[in-house]
Amino acid sequence: MAEPTSGPLIVQSDKTLLLEIDHEAAADCRRAIAPFAELERAPEHVHTYRLTPLGLWNARAAGHDAEQVVDVLLRYSRYPVPHALLVDVAETMGRYGRLTLAKHPVHGLVLTTTDRAVLEEVLRSKKMAPLVGARVDADSVAVHPSERGQIKQVLLKLGWPAEDLAGYVDGEAHPIDLAEQGWTLRPYQKEAVEGFWHGGSGVVVLPCGAGKTLVGAAAMATAKATTLILVTNTVSARQWKAELIKRTSLTEDEIGEYSGTRKEIRPVTIATYQVVTTRRKGVYPHLELFDSRDWGLIVYDEVHLLPAPIFRFTADLQARRRLGLTATLVREDGREGDVFSLIGPKRYDAPWKEIENQGYIAPADCVEVRVTLTDAERLAYATAEPEERYRFCATTATKTRVTRELVEMHAGEQTLVIGQYIDQLDELGETLDAPVIKGETRNTERERLFEAFRQGEISVLVVSKVANFSIDLPEAAVAIQVSGSFGSRQEEAQRLGRVLRPKADGRAARFYSVVARDTIDQEFAAHRQRFLAEQGYAYRIVDADDLGKA
C-alpha cells in the first residue's frame, strides 16, 4: 500500500482541519491556514481549525482569494480533499465583495455590485427595503448614510456580506504619541496595530496578558485623534487610564472617565458598558456621549462581552474607525456575525501558545484538585434541592481545608483565591487571614488592596467574580479557584489570564481548581478542563490526599 502523502493537515468532512503539530511542515501550514480558518482547539499534538463562512470572509477581507485557500488545502493535505468542500470554499468566498459600500459624490453612500443578479436578490428582501433609497443605475443603489451599519448586518444575514469601502472620517485631531521609555512595543503588537490600521476597522485577537491595552494605545498614537474607549467596568477604566498615562504622551487632564460616578468628556474618554447601556424610561440618557465629540477612533475592550445595545449604537458609528480587542472571538450568545459586520473583520490573531513560546506570557500549570466529601456532606448533597446542589458542593467545608493546604504549600508566592459565593469567600478570608474583595468593596479600597498586592505587602488575596475582568495583577503566581459560574469557558479564560503575566524568575504559573468529587461540581470542572487542555495547557488531576506529593 502507498505511503500517505506527507502533509501535516487532514481535512475532515465536518469542515474541521486537523493540524499535526509535531510534523516538520506544521509551522508553515499553520501560518498558511491561519488567515481563513478559526483555531478551535490547540491541545498538545493535533490542533483543530474550523472553516466557517465568517472565517472565509475574514480571509477575503484580508485580501486572500479562494484560489489561495484551495491551494493551501491541497498543498498541505495528507489525503485527497473532498471536491465538494473545495467547491464550497470557492462558492462561499465568492460571496464576499460582490457587493461593496462606497462613497458617491451625489448620493452620498451607494451599494454597488459586480453581479447584477445578487443585487436583485438582496433588494427583494423585505429587510432591505427601509435601508436603501433610489436605484442609481442597474448595478448600484443609494443607501441612507445612517443605515451603513444596519445594511451590513442585513447583508451578512442574507449571506452576501458587503465590503465597506466608504472610508472613515478623520475626527477631531489630537496629538497622541507613545512614550517608549524603557520599553518598546513587542513585534506582534506592532503587527496587530499595522493590520488594524491597514484594514480600517476590525478586531485584534490576543490572549490575556499579551498587552492588549498597548495595542489600543498604539492605535491611538497612529490615529492621533480623539478617542472613545469602551470598557467592561470601572476598575478596568481606571487601569486603562493609568496605563495610558504611563505609556503615552497623554496627561491626566486629557483623559476623562465616564462611569456611574463621574461623567467627564475629554479628548480621550473611557466609558463603561454599564453606563452606556443604562436605560431610563425607555431611553438611553448617555447616548450623547457618542455625539459629544467628533471621535476619530473608538476602542472596544473585551469585544466578546459587548452588550447587545452597544451593537445598535455602533451601527450608527460606521464612519468612525473602530478597534475591537479580545482574547476570543467566541461569544457565548453566538453574535459573532454582528462583531464581523459592525466592528469589522478579524485583523490580527495570535494563539496563546505562540506568544507564550516567545516568552511574553508565562506558561501555566493547571491542576485540578479533587476533594472527597465527608460522608455527612455526601448525604447532605444528595438531599439538597436541585438549584442548591451546585452551591452546596462548591462551597463545602472540605474545600476550605484543602485551599488552606494549597496556600500553605505556596507560602511566599503571590496567591489569588477566586470564588463565586460571598459566604465562602468570607470564610476563606477568615481562615487564610487574607483580605476579601467583593462587589460591595469600594473602588478606593479595591485599588488600595490591589496596589498592596502588587507591592508584595500582602501575598494572599481572596476575590469574587468582580475581579474576573480587566484587573491587572502583575505578580500573581498562583491562582486557586474554588467555585465559579457553572463552568463558563469565558470565565476560565479570564481567570487564567490573572496568572499569565510573565514572572520575574520565569517560573510557570500555577492554576488550581478545587473540585468536589462525584458531584455536579466535577461535571462543570470537566468543561473547564476541556477548555484549558484545548488551549494547550498542561493539565493534571490530583487527589487532595496526594497534594503533598504533587
Partner 1 sequence: MTTSTRRTKGGPVGTPAGSAVPRTLAEDLRGRGDDELAQLLRARPDLTTPVPVDLTQLATRATTRASVARVLERLDHFTLQVVDAAVVLPDGFGYPALRDLVGDVPQLPGAVEVLRTRALLWGPLESLRVVRTVRDLAGASPAGLGPALPAALGATGPARLQELLADLGLPPTPDAVSAIGAIGALFADRKAVAALLGEAPPAAAEVLDKLVWGPPTGSVRGADRPVRAADANSPVEWLLARALLVPAGPQAVVLPRELALTLRGGRVHRDLAPTPPEITATPRDPQAVDAAAAGAAFTAVRRVEELLELWSTGGPAVLRAGGLGVRDLKRAAAALDVTEAEAALWLELCYAAGLVAGDGEADERWLPTPAYDVWRARPVAERWATLAGVWLETTRVPGLVGTRDDKDKPVNALGPGVDRTAAPEVRHALLGRLGELAEGSAAPAADLLADLAWHRPVRTARLRSELVDRTLVEAELLGVTGRGALAKAGRALLTGELNAAADLLEPLLPTPLDHVLLQADLTAVAPGPLVVALAQELHLAADIESTGGATVYRFGEASIRRALDSGRTAADLHRLFATHSRTPVPQPLTYLVDDVARRHGRLRVGAASAYLRCDDEAVLGELLADRRAHGLRLRRLAPTVLAADGAPDQVLSALRSLGYAPMAESATGDVVITRPDALRTPPRSLPPRVTGEPPAPSTSLIDAAVTAIRAGDRAAVSRPRGAEDGEAPAELPRTSAAETLLALQAAFAERRPVWIGYVTREGRATQRIIVPLGLEGGYVTAQEHTAGELHTYPLHRITGVAPVDVADPAPS
**Piece of the chain touching partner 1 by CB under 8 A; list 11-19, 206-214, 266-274, 345-353:** 11-19
CA distance 300 to 270: 10
Q: Which distant-in-sequence residues (6+ apart) come within 8 Å of 372 by Cβ?
A: 398, 517, 543, 544, 545
Nearer to partner 1, 4 or 282 (CB): 4
Q: Which distant-in-sequence residues (6+ apart) come within 8 Å of 129 by Cβ?
A: none
Q: What is the DSSP string of 409-474?
A: HTTTS-EEEE-S-HHHHHHHHHHHT--EE-TTS-HHHHHHHHHHHHTTS--EEEE-GGGGSS---T
Task: State residue 377 phi and psi, 5-degree precision.
Answer: -65, -40
CA distance 106 to 16: 46
Is residue 43 near partner 1 by the rule CB under 8 A? yes
Nearer to partner 1, 361 or 366 (CB): 366
Is residue 475 near partner 1 by the rule CB under 8 A? no
Q: Which residues pair with 416 in a beta bridge?
A: 461, 479
Q: Could you give the angle at which helices 234-247 and 212-223 cross, rounded to 10 degrees? A: 60
Residue 17: enclosing H or E segment and its boundaries?
Answer: strand 16-20
Nearer to partner 1, 312 or 389 (CB): 389
Is residue 75 near partner 1 by the rule CB under 8 A? no
Is residue 447 near partner 1 by the rule CB under 8 A? no
Among 184, 260, 540, 546, binds partner 1 (CB under 8 A): 540
List the grid coordinates of 312.
445598535
Tell me which residues in 304-363 interact with partner 1 (CB under 8 A).
Answer: none
CA–centroid distance for 266 within its chain: 27
Is residue 530 near partner 1 by the rule CB under 8 A? yes
Is residue 18 near partner 1 by the rule CB under 8 A? yes
Is residue 157 near partner 1 by the rule CB under 8 A? no
Is residue 80 near partner 1 by the rule CB under 8 A? yes
**Least separation, in Å, of the C-beta of 208 and partner 1?**
19
Is residue 378 near partner 1 by the rule CB under 8 A? no
**Piece of the chain touching partner 1 by CB under 8 A; list 388-396, 421-429, 466-474, 534-542:** 534-542
List the grid coordinates of 321.
474607525
**Piece of the chain touching partner 1 by CB under 8 A; list 58-66, 377-385, 425-433, 527-535:** 527-535
Tell me which residues in 492-521 interact with partner 1 (CB under 8 A).
Answer: 518
Q: Which distant-in-sequence residues (6+ apart) come within 8 Å of 58 by Cβ?
A: 35, 36, 340, 345, 346
Is residue 279 near partner 1 by the rule CB under 8 A? no
Is residue 489 near partner 1 by the rule CB under 8 A? no
List the grid coordinates of 499.
496568572
Q: Are strands 268-272 and 227-231 parallel, antiparallel or unpaired?
A: parallel
Is residue 14 near partner 1 by the rule CB under 8 A? yes
Question: Which of 338, 270, 275 lies closest to 304 in space, CA to CA?
Answer: 338
> Which parts of 284-326 are beta strand (E)?
297-300, 321-326
Among 4, 282, 334, 506, binds partner 1 (CB under 8 A): 4
Nearer to partner 1, 390 or 469 (CB): 390
Nearer to partner 1, 76 or 450 (CB): 76
Question: Which of 393, 394, 415 lies closest to 404 in space, CA to CA?
Answer: 415
Among 81, 276, 339, 428, binds partner 1 (CB under 8 A): 81
Among 96, 300, 512, 539, binds partner 1 (CB under 8 A): 539
Question: Which of 260, 309, 322 lies closest to 282 in space, CA to CA?
Answer: 309
Contact at 8 Å (CB) between 266 and 253? yes
CB atoms within 10 A of CB 1: 3
For 132, 214, 275, the CA distances from 241, given in Å and listed in that order, are: 41, 12, 17
**Least separation, in Å, of the C-beta of 355 and partner 1?**
20
What type of residue is 170?
A: D
**Piece of the chain touching partner 1 by CB under 8 A; list 71-79, 103-111, 117-125, 176-184:** 71-79
Is residue 16 near partner 1 by the rule CB under 8 A? yes
Per-residue binder mask for partner 1 (CB under 8 A), 83-112, x = binder? x-----------------------------
Among 6, 79, 279, 333, binds partner 1 (CB under 8 A): 79
**Piece of the chain touching partner 1 by CB under 8 A; list 81-89, 132-140, 279-287, 377-385:** 81-89
Q: Which distant-in-sequence residues (6+ apart) come within 8 Å of 146 by Cβ?
A: 316
**Least separation, in Å, of the C-beta of 351 and partner 1?**
15
Binding residue count for partner 1, defined by CB under 8 A: 35
**Piece of the chain touching partner 1 by CB under 8 A; list 14-22, 65-73, 202-210, 335-343:** 14-22
**Piece of the chain touching partner 1 by CB under 8 A; list 3-11, 142-150, 161-169, 454-462:** 3-11
Residue with cell 424610561: 281
**Piece of the chain touching partner 1 by CB under 8 A; list 12-20, 218-226, 283-291, 482-490:** 12-20
DSSP-assigned letter for residue 335:
T
* Residues lying near partner 1 in the complex (CB under 8 A): 1-4, 10-14, 16, 18, 20, 41, 43-46, 48, 77-83, 368, 518, 529-530, 533-534, 538-541
